[in-house]
Chain A
Amino acid sequence: MTTYLIRRSLQGVLVLIFTSALIYGLLNLTPGGPIGDVLQKPYRTTAERNAAVRAATIRYGLDKDIVTRYLFWLYNWDPTDNNNPVYLQNTYDAAVQEMTGTTDPARKGSLQNIISTYPPLIASANKALATCSNLFDFSSLGSCLGIPRNGGIITGNWGTSWKVATGTPVLNLIFGRGAYTDNSSGVAVPHPSERWRSPLANTLVLMSLSVLISLLIAFPIGVYSAVKQYSATDYALTLFSFFGISMPTFWFGLILYLLLGIQFKTWHDQGASWLPYLPTGGVVDDVSSTAQYSDIGIRIRHLIMPVVVLSLSSVAGWSRFLRASMLEVLRQDYVRTAWAKGLKQRTVILKHALRNALIPQVTLIALAIPVLFGGAIITERIFNYGGMGTLYFNAVGQNDWPLMMSILIISSFLVVISNIIADIAYAIVDPRIRYS
C-alpha cells in the first residue's frame, strides 16, 4: 500500500507537471497572447504602437521560446521583482525600445529614468546570477538569485492579476486577502476580504454542501428504489433521476432564479407577505457590511439556490448508481444467507447490502469533485456567487492570464487529488483490494 501510495503520488506530480505544461502551451497559442489589450489600444503613431507592443513583448518574456517561458513561469515568474535580473533587463530593453517611438514628454521622462538607473541594478543582479551555476536547478536558484520568495509558482509566487484586479497577487485574490483595485469598476477595494471572503472558501463551501446534500438525498432514494424495485415509487424515482441527469444546469438555475428569486419577491411585494423569497445573487445581501459575512443565516439563504442547482445532477446520478449497485448486491448469496438466517430487514439492507453497495460509490463521489468544480462556474455565474467560478469567468472574459493559469492549475490539482483519493478510498473500503 505504501509503495502504491508513493507511486500514485509521483504519478500525480508528473501528471500535474505535464498538465500545467499543456495548459501553459495551449494558452500561449492565443492570438495576441497576454498583450491582446496592448495591441487593441489606440495609438497616435505606428511607431508608438510598435514600441508599446515591443515593450510589452519583452516585459512578459514573449520574445523567449515557449519552453523557457514555461520554466520561467514554473519557478522564476515574477515580472516585478527587482532582484530578478531577467525582469530588470527586460524592463530596460523595453524602455529603450519604447523611447524611440514616444512623443509624450512625461512618458519620455519616466523611460529616461529607467534607462539611467537600471544598468547598475542589472549589473549587480547579474553578478548574483553568475554565481548560480545551473539555471534549471530549482533548489538553488531562488537563494542564489536572492529571490527566495519569488521563484515562480512552485515556490508559491503565482504572479499578479493583469486585468481583473491589476497588480494584485493572484493568491490574494483567490484567498481573499490584501487590498486591490477592481478594474471593472475602477474602485479601490481596501479590504477585499469583506467583499470576497475568499472565493476559494466560498466555492469549497458550495461544493461541500452540495456533496453533503446530494448524499443525503441520493442514498435513501437509491436504497429505496432498489429494495422496492419495479414499484410505482421506483418508477417515479427513476423518472426523476432521468429528468435530473438530462436537465441543463444553467436552465434549471435560471428557472429557479426567476421563480424563487424574482417572481416570489414580486408576489411577496404585491401582498402575499407570507411568501418567502430567496436572494438572487451574491454571497451576502450587502457587500459593504462586514457583519453579514459572518451571519450564518444570511450566508445560508444565499447558498440555497446555488446548492440546489449544483446538486441536482449528482443527486440524480448517484441515486441511480446506488440503485444499480444495491440491486447487484441484493442478488448475492451472502445477502440471501442473511435473509435466510432470519435477520431483520433493516439489518440485512443496511448492514449487509448497503455497506457493500457503497464501495463503488466512494470512487464515484471522489471523481465527481472536478465535475462539481466545473458546474460551479455555471452556477456561480447565474447567481453571481463570489467564488472561484465567478473569478475564473471574469479572468477568461478579460483575458487575465496569471489568474486563468492559476485557477486552471488549482482545478487540475483538484482532479489529480480526487483521482488519488478515489483509488485510496476504494482500497480502504474494499478489503479485497490490495495495491502493491
Chain B
Amino acid sequence: MATNANNVNELDNREPADAIKPSENGANTPVQHITGVGGGVTGDSTDYIMRVQNLKKYFPVRGGVLQRVVGQVKAVDGVNFDVRRGETLGLVGESGCGKTTVGRTVLRLLNPTGGNVLFEGRDLTTLNAGEMKKTRRNMQIIFQDPYSSLDPRVPIGQSVGEGLLIHGFSREEREQTVRDMLKRVGLHPEHARRYPHEFSGGQRQRIGIARALTMHPSFIVADEPVSALDVSIQSQVLNILKDLQQEFKLTYLFIAHNLSVVEHISDRVGVMYLGKMAELADRDELFNNPRHPYTQALLSAIPIPDPRIRRDRIILKGDVPSPLNPPSGCRFHTRCWLAQQICSDQEPEWRDIGSENATAHPHLVACHFAEQTKVKGLANEIKEQLGTDTKV
C-alpha cells in the first residue's frame, strides 16, 4: 500500500463492510434481521447499513439536599430509523431536539439509555471495548465547530493520521494516507506539519473531513458540518462531501437545522421534535407532501428572499416544552393547531402512510391525523418561489 501513490483509489474499491466481516472480528455473530416497527418497513430486502430501534438517551438531573437524581432530560426518547447503504439521511429539527445526541449515540460516543443500534447487522450496544474499537474504523464523525474539533497542540498531519496510528498502521502507510487525504480535500500535503490555528474555518473543516476519511469508513455522521462556516464556504464543503460520498461509497447521517442545506444534500430526510422522530420520508416526498404539522410549520418557515412574495406562514405558538418533562401523548400537541383530545392522551404510532410516488421509500410519520393533513402544493409553492429545485 505504501508504495502505491494511488492507494486511495485502491482502498476505495474494497467493500465498505470489509473491515467487520465476521472472520476479521473473530466473533461469528449472526446478522440479526429485525423487522417491523424498527424502521416501519417490513419484509424488504434493502441493504441497510444502520438500523436504529427505539433509541433512548436520558441525562440525569440532580438536585435537592442529597443531590439525588430528581429527573431525566429525555434528549432522545424512542427514535426509530434506518439508514440505507450509500444514501444521505438528513436529520433536521430545532436546536435542543436531540438530533446531535442521536448522532453521538448511534456512534456510541454516548452510551444509549435504551434501544439498539444495529450497524452492519451487529448491535453496537452489546459490543465490548475491543470490538467497538475495530468497528470504529467503519464509522466516523464530522463536527460542527471547526475550531474545537482539532487539537490545537497537535500538527494537523498527526491529527489526520491518528486513527491509523491507533489501529496499528505503519508509519509509511500513515504518511502516505495522510498526504493523499489532505490532497483529496484540497490541502497541500506539506501542510501536515502545521498547527490548526494556521488554517481558516473552511480549511479546518476539510481537515476534519480528511481525518474522518483516513480509515475509509463506510458510515459518517456529519453533525452540522457547515453551520459554523461562512455561507461562501458552505457549498464548497458540501460539494467535497458529495464528491467523497461517490468516490468512497459513503453513507451519511447528515444532521442540520438548515432545511436548504438538508434539501441540497439528502436523499431522505427525518424531522425530529423534542427527542422523537416526527416524520421521515424521501426528500422530495417530504418537501412536497409534508404530513406532520410540525414539518409543515418548519417548511413554511423557510425564508423567501423576495419581499414581493407574500405567503401564509404557520407561526407556532408558545415555546418548545422542556425535555425534562415532555408533554404527554404527542409531544407536539401543546403547539399544534390540529390538536385534539387524543393527541394529549395517546402517543401517535410511527407508521408508514405511503408515498405519493409509488417507487419511493416509505413515508413514515407520527401523527394521529396524518391522513387529513395533506397541504396541497405547499412545498411546490415554496420551491417555485425559492427557485431552489436543486437537482443533485
A428 in contact (CB, < 8 A) = no
A185 in contact (CB, < 8 A) = no
A214 to chain B, nearest CB (A): 36
CB-CB contacts below 8 Å: B63-111 with A: 63-67
CB-CB contacts below 8 Å: B36-71 with A: 63-67
B80 to chain A, nearest CB (A): 35
Structural contact, B65 and A6, CB atoms closer than 8 A? yes
Q: B63 — nearest CB in chain A belongs to which residue? A: A436
Query: Which residues on B sit within 8 Å (CB–CB) of A3?
Result: 63-65
A10 in contact (CB, < 8 A) = yes
The answer for the CA separation of A3 and B68 in the assembled complex, in Å, is 13
B60 to chain A, nearest CB (A): 15
Q: How many residues of B contact A (CB 8 A)?
A: 5
The answer for the CA separation of A6 and B63 in the assembled complex, in Å, is 12
A215 to chain B, nearest CB (A): 34
Structural contact, B65 and A10, CB atoms closer than 8 A? yes
Interface on chain B toward A: helix, strand, loop, or mixed SS? loop
Contact with A along B220-263 (1 / 0, CB 8 A): 00000000000000000000000000000000000000000000
Q: B65 — nearest CB in chain A belongs to which residue? A: A7
B56 to chain A, nearest CB (A): 26
Q: A6 — nearest CB in chain B belongs to which residue? A: B65
A424 to chain B, nearest CB (A): 16
The answer for the CA separation of A7 and B63 in the assembled complex, in Å, is 10
B246 to chain A, nearest CB (A): 48
Contact with B along A1-37 (1 / 0, CB 8 A): 0010011001000000000000000000000000000
Q: A8 — nearest CB in chain B belongs to which residue? A: B65
A6 to chain B, nearest CB (A): 5
The answer for the CA separation of A3 and B62 in the assembled complex, in Å, is 13
The answer for the CA separation of A271 and B65 in the assembled complex, in Å, is 69
Q: B62 — nearest CB in chain A belongs to which residue? A: A436
Contact with B along A425-436 (1 / 0, CB 8 A): 000000000001
Query: Which residues on A sit within 8 Å (CB–CB) of B65?
Result: 3, 6-7, 10
The answer for the CA separation of A6 and B66 in the assembled complex, in Å, is 10
B62 to chain A, nearest CB (A): 10
A52 to chain B, nearest CB (A): 51
The answer for the CA separation of A3 and B67 in the assembled complex, in Å, is 10
Query: Which residues on A sit within 8 Å (CB–CB) of B63?
Result: 3, 436
Query: Which residues on B sit within 8 Å (CB–CB) of A6?
Result: 65
A181 to chain B, nearest CB (A): 48
B70 to chain A, nearest CB (A): 10
In this complex, the member of B63, B65, B66, B67 whose beta carbon has the largest number of chain A beta carbons within 10 angstroms is B65
The answer for the CA separation of A84 and B65 in the assembled complex, in Å, is 38
Query: Which residues on B sit within 8 Å (CB–CB) of A7?
Result: 64-67
The answer for the CA separation of A7 and B64 in the assembled complex, in Å, is 8
CB-CB contacts below 8 Å: A113-171 with B: none
A15 to chain B, nearest CB (A): 15
Query: Which residues on B sit within 8 Å (CB–CB) of A10?
Result: 65
Q: B66 — nearest CB in chain A belongs to which residue? A: A7
B101 to chain A, nearest CB (A): 24
Q: List 10 A-B contacts (CB under 8 A).
A: A3-B63, A3-B64, A3-B65, A6-B65, A7-B64, A7-B65, A7-B66, A7-B67, A10-B65, A436-B63
Beyond the given pairs A7-B64, A7-B67, 8 more chain A to chain B contacts, judged by CB atoms under 8 angstroms and listed by A's residue number, are A3-B63, A3-B64, A3-B65, A6-B65, A7-B65, A7-B66, A10-B65, A436-B63
Q: Which 6 A-B pairs have the closest CB atoms?
A: A7-B65, A6-B65, A3-B65, A436-B63, A3-B64, A10-B65
